Structure 1
């Protein structure tokens, strides 16, 4: 399972409209930026209270990239 699939799997489990979850990867030299788009109704569920949910998803992503010399950033787009 690659990182894009991991982000997609985790976020689809959190939202009410899993069919509207999109994850795009923009790769740089050492950093990969993952752009996450969800339905407008699900934006609050992804961010969570005081950003706790998105912080947890970012922590999972960081843990998945520790063995490689890559850096991954997750951005939530509206």
Structure 2
């Protein structure tokens, strides 16, 4: 899942070397925390959060085979 997130986000940002993804897993869920360069934050979130919502939709669909809820958080 980390590679999928990184592949999607890399095509959107100007500073792909600053992408980092942390994974935190517990019994019922998996939370991925994505952080990007501060100049790329707007590109990842998009107007009114449309790009972030689209990324989350793809991640949720890809993770639907797992029996856990998947969350994607975007931080600076």
TM-score (norm 2): 0.96
SS in 1 for 2:64: coil
Displacement of 1:50 in angstroms is: 0.4
Alpha-carbon distance in 2 for matches of 1:27, 1:67: 16
Residue 31 of structure 2 corresponds to 33
- Which consecutive aligned stretches of 4+ in structure 1 deviate over 6 angstroms post-superposition? none
**Unmatched tracts of structure 1, length 5 or more:** none
Residue 75 of structure 1 corresponds to 73
Residue 15 of structure 2 corresponds to 17
Residue 56 of structure 2 corresponds to 58
Displacement of 1:70 in angstroms is: 1.5
**Unmatched tracts of structure 2, length 5 or more:** none
Alpha-carbon distance in 2 for matches of 1:27, 1:48: 27
Indicate the RMSD between aligned Cα atoms, in angstroms: 0.7
